[in-house]
Structures are given as C-alpha cells and as structure tokens.
Chains A and B, each alone.
Chain A
C-alpha cells in the first residue's frame, strides 16, 4: 500500500505498460479457458511482480469466477482495476481481447475459403463428434460433482433446468433469470433463519 502511494506518475505508466504486455501474453498463449488464465495471472502478479497479496488475489479470483462473462476478461478487469483503477481495467481488457480477436479474424477468413474443401469439411465433420464427446465428459464431471454434493435443491434445479431447456425448449435467458431469483430467495431465507436462531 505504502509503496503504491509513494509511486510517481512515471511509475504508474510503467505499471500500465507491464500490465498491458503481461495480459496480452497470457491471453495469446493460454489454451484451456478462464480457470487456467486466472491461475497464471496469480503467478505473474502475486508471485512474480508482488503487486497483489495472496489473500486478496483469492477474493479477486472469486469475483472473476462468479461474475457473468468470460473468466479471462473478468480476471483482467479485477487485476487491472486493483492496480490502476478504471484506466488499469481498460488496459487489461484491451490486452486480453486483442489476441482472440485477431486469431479468430484470421481463422474465419480461412474457414470461408476452405469450408468446402473435401478434407477440411470431413475433418470439421469428424470434429463435431469429438467436441460432442468433450462436452459430454465436461457435463459428466460437473453433473456428478453436483449429485455427489447431495444438496436436494441443487439436484432439483439441475433436473428442472434440463427438462425446461431440452424438452420444453424454454429460452435459456428465462431459465437463468429464474434460477438466479431462486438463489437470491434462498439466501434471504437462510439469513432470516440464522437471525431467528
């Protein structure tokens, strides 16, 4: 804290530059989604630069993971904001979205060029079965985690949401809003019960 207060304007510019290039690097080379990138951010900013202490990073990570949106983007926002306020957040976000933006732009040019090529189209078709298998295994892991948690409410919400989405084709947005409201109601109910005790 003390160090931050003493830091001059030049030092802040230095922080922003370092922040920009380290988030750019992490975003360009991290495969495997948000959870991985948040861990790498911790390595860089807590263990590497000592800009954030460990405890605080854990809470910031929790915020990034529980807020809506991509975890990588949220992680960039919390770290950037913590280090340099709104300017820091903006710097980190920009650095985070530049790599996927360019990579996907390039890929999409090739996609349109090669989609009708025999090998590419067969390859992509086969990969549909592959990605289906990846999703099936993710669902199996997440779902069995929830079943093993043995929380009746969670299991009912999971089955209810599945029936609503898959069988009755109810809009995903409606399902999410209803479940969020149920969660809020549960929290207030628990709070009331704790007070009563």
Chain B
C-alpha cells in the first residue's frame, strides 16, 4: 500500500532530521532514492535545486513533490502530514516540559553528538550529487566519461560562493545559464 509506504518514509525523515536545512537531505536521499526508488539521482538533485529556489523547508518540499509524483494529490497530503507529525508530537511535548521545568541538558548533549554526524552525512549526500553531476548515468567513474564542462561549472560556482560571497540562488541560476551556453556552443559546432 503506497500511502503507508509514503507515511513510513516521511515519518522517518521528519523524526530523524536534526539540525534543519540540509540535515534532512541525506535522509530524503536514503528513503526516496535508495530504499524506495521513487526518484533517480538526477530527479533528486533537481528536487534539491527547486527547494533551494522556493521558500519552504527541504523536507516539506520533498514530501509534497514525491507524494504528488507517486500518488497524486492525496499522496502529497499524506507525505507532507507524515513529515511534520513527529515534529508536532515531539516539539509540543518538549515545549510543555520546558515551560514547566526549564531544563534540557540531556537534549543538548544528544544534539552535541549529532551535529558532527549530520555534517558528515550532508557531505556524503553532496558527494553523490556531484557524482551524478559529473558522470551522469554512465556506469563507471573514469576520466573518459567525465563531463568536464560540469567540473568547470562546479569550480566556477565554488569560487563565486567562497571568494565573492554570492547568494547561493544566484550561483545556481548562473550554473544553469553556463550549461545552456555550453550546450548551445557545442550544438553550433
């Protein structure tokens, strides 16, 4: 049953993504690409790109997007609700406890250990996005199959971000424009 599967996957994403922003990304990749095959790696990367360019948390955007694709509007509602359900329960309980006791050191302790792990997992999801970008669907990773234009665009983007502190949304748009330009030149030749 597809709704149950969507529920279980997005409930896990909502329950285990600590730290906001990109923290949900590796979990979404795990559930949506690896475990269930609802999206392929290129679609997943498109989804992350779209999430970056629209308001709203990555997890909610993904739930709506994947739910719609897999099971239409009811699927989108099911996935989105499942994704926020753990927050509703946990945050309400903690707020209640906080308003009563005003203490939370165990919670902070757990979080201190999760933070470095979350960074590592974002890195690892980022690597799979780059592999998909540089080598596409080609079976092996080798120098011969590398899309060098993508490597160059990546390098330019890193410089724009780190050195010129350009807004990420602009950097991504620029990356898209660069690729269109490259494809048109390649087409003309």
Contacts and interface: CB of A to CB of B under 8 A. Distances in A.
A70 B22 contact: no
B57 A73 contact: yes
A183 B112 contact: yes
A165 B119 CA distance: 11
- Bin the interface of chain A by size: 35 or more
A17 interface: no
A103 B54 CA distance: 8
Q: Is the interface of A mostly helix, strand, loop or mixed?
A: helix
Contacts, number: 336
Among the interface residues B50, B104, B123, which one has the most CB atoms of the partner chain A within 10 A? B123
B21 A132 contact: no
Contacts of A27: 55-56
Interface string B42-81: 1001101110101111111100110011000100100010
Interface string B13-54: 011111111101111011000000000001001101110101
A69 B11 CA distance: 10
B141 interface: no
A4 B26 CA distance: 43
B119 A175 contact: no
Nearest to B116: A158
A183 B111 contact: yes
Given A134-B157, A158-B117, A159-B120, A73 B49 contact: no
Interface string A126-156: 1111111111111110110010000001110
Contacts of B96: 81
B92 A89 contact: yes
9 contacts: A66-B108, A67-B87, A68-B86, A69-B91, A73-B84, A101-B80, A135-B125, A187-B106, A187-B109
Interface of A: 27-31, 33-35, 59-60, 62-74, 77-78, 81-82, 86, 89, 93, 97, 99-101, 103-105, 107-108, 111, 115, 118-119, 122-140, 142-143, 146, 153-155, 157-162, 165-166, 171-173, 175-177, 179-180, 182-184, 186-188, 190-191
Interface of B: 12, 14-22, 24-27, 29-30, 42, 45-46, 48-50, 52, 54-61, 64-65, 68-69, 73, 76, 80, 83-84, 86-88, 90-92, 94-96, 98-99, 102, 104-127, 129-130, 132-134, 150-151, 153-154, 157-158, 160-162, 168-169, 171-180, 182-183
